[in-house]
Chain A
Amino acid sequence: MAANDQTAPAALALDNVDVAYHGDIRILRGLSLEVRPGLITGIIGPNGAGKSTALRALYGLLKPVAGDVLIDGRTATGLPPWKFIEHGIALVPQQRSLFNELSVEDNLRLACWSFRRDRRRIEEALERAYAQFPMLRDKRRDLAGSMSGGQQRFLELGRALALRPRVLLLDEPTAMIAPRVSADIYDFISGLPAQGITVLLVDQNVRQCVRIAQHLYVLELGQNKVDGSAHAFQEDSGLRDLIAEWVDYRIDT
């Protein structure tokens, strides 16, 4: 089980990575960050800082123009996303990613595509998702699109966890979710390390991200402005100053 071992290599890392869009616009500039095993690592930053881009690079959805992506300290640069899944890394993207016209259970079954002939493993995966979120079992025959936004988000989490990932990447998991349900989602994420699941959380809900993360990166203009213990950010005034800077937006672009 992944423990919080400072000497172990990062479960997933970017090493001096540049990512460019349209060929010439560098969104990430020499970005290095580590997803440490057994912890929740948080990434916050103003809009356009490169948070989602970093996440996409960490999952093989974008290929860096320079630098490396590392899985357990070994180069994984240029691997396609499905290879990341084989390495036990799962992503829950910010945008809804369900098949609305399929049932809850069929959405979960689709996640099992890579072992689709292994009936026992599929049943295990479904059980795992239902055990995490009993509500999904009750609604297993309902169309995914008929559920509320919060329930859909739980289905996406259940689908990612059905594959028993070691590392879960989350992109703004509570965007567009009612506040009451958001609290449940953050509680759930907080408990993942105890299940042996390492988490990388990209979030614009700064307060919650800082509350549940142990390690924190603050991105600005594709670079690390802060790389440190989230604990150091707990006192509110430091955070407030940081956000005041974002809202004032006099950062040189």
Chain B
Amino acid sequence: MSSAIETRDLTKRFGGLVALDGVNLQAGAGETLGIIGVNGAGKTTLMNCICGLYRPDSGDVFVGGERVTGRPPHVIAHHGIGRTFQVPRVFRKMSLIDNLLVPVLDRAASDSELVGRAEAMLERMQLIELRHNYAEELSGGQQKLLEMARMLMPDPAIVMLDEPFAGVHPVLCKFMIERIEETARAGKVVLLISHDLTSIYRLSSRVVALNQGRIIAEGGVDDIRGNPAVIEAYLGT
């Protein structure tokens, strides 16, 4: 059976900087893959190549066994990939409800059904009271929750989260961790980038450590803790 998501020899260069250098990874349904590494290791570049924001210089991305390399982001999104950003990209001048409706505008479902789903999603994120407020009125952490909600609206099979806990109040972090666990339990593939190793270790079924664009270690949480190559990477050059 093919993996839900797979990259083969994925390589991306920016001028002289090799941001991704032949990255092979795969993940299947229900799996949460933690991606760690120091700044500049290539974590976000990897997500950008998978979702089509960047075109890789070589290598391939497969979603559900189908090659999607080089397709535009909206096409790849339709293959069932959703993602969030380290700095949330909500539609600031739109209400929370409208933010959630944007990714499902092209669906066949009736308006009332879509609004119902959006309200249920806001309920789940504890943002329902604010459904008619502008997104820009939310705190940074709440905007991250809204972005996660918007991403989940089309029910993607693969969910990519880029630093969901960065700059978020610890109480909200805990809430977000529970939502991510729930998402994985629902059978989705979760790709999670975080500097916060505590949450990575708690959420991940498998962890990949990147350094200078390469995978330097891969395995269960206990394979990563105390791994000499990972320690070496965190020491710097």
Contacts and interface: CB of A to CB of B under 8 A. Distances in A.
A148 B15 CA distance: 7
Contacts of B226: 244, 247-248
Contact of B169 (A25, A172, A209, A249): A25
A34 B13 CA distance: 40
B201 A205 contact: no
Given A179-B212, A243-B231, A249 B197 contact: yes
A178 interface: yes
Interface residues of A, number: 32
A71 to B, nearest CB: 29
A182 B237 contact: yes
Interface of B: 14-17, 38-40, 169-170, 195-198, 201, 212, 224-227, 230-231, 234-237
A200 to B, nearest CB: 18
Contacts of B40: 175-177
A247 B231 contact: yes
Interface in A171-216: 172, 175-182, 203-209
B231 A175 contact: no
A172 B39 CA distance: 9
A71 B177 CA distance: 42
A47 B163 CA distance: 12
A233 to B, nearest CB: 11
Nearest to A186: B237
B201 A249 contact: yes
B195 A47 contact: yes
B197 A243 contact: no
Contacts of A172: 39
Contact of B236 (A25, A177, A204): A204
A239 B232 CA distance: 10
Contacts of A177: 17, 40
B236 A249 contact: no
A253 B16 CA distance: 40
Contacts of A249: 197-198, 201, 225
8 contacts: A21-B169, A25-B169, A148-B17, A178-B16, A205-B38, A207-B236, A246-B197, A246-B234
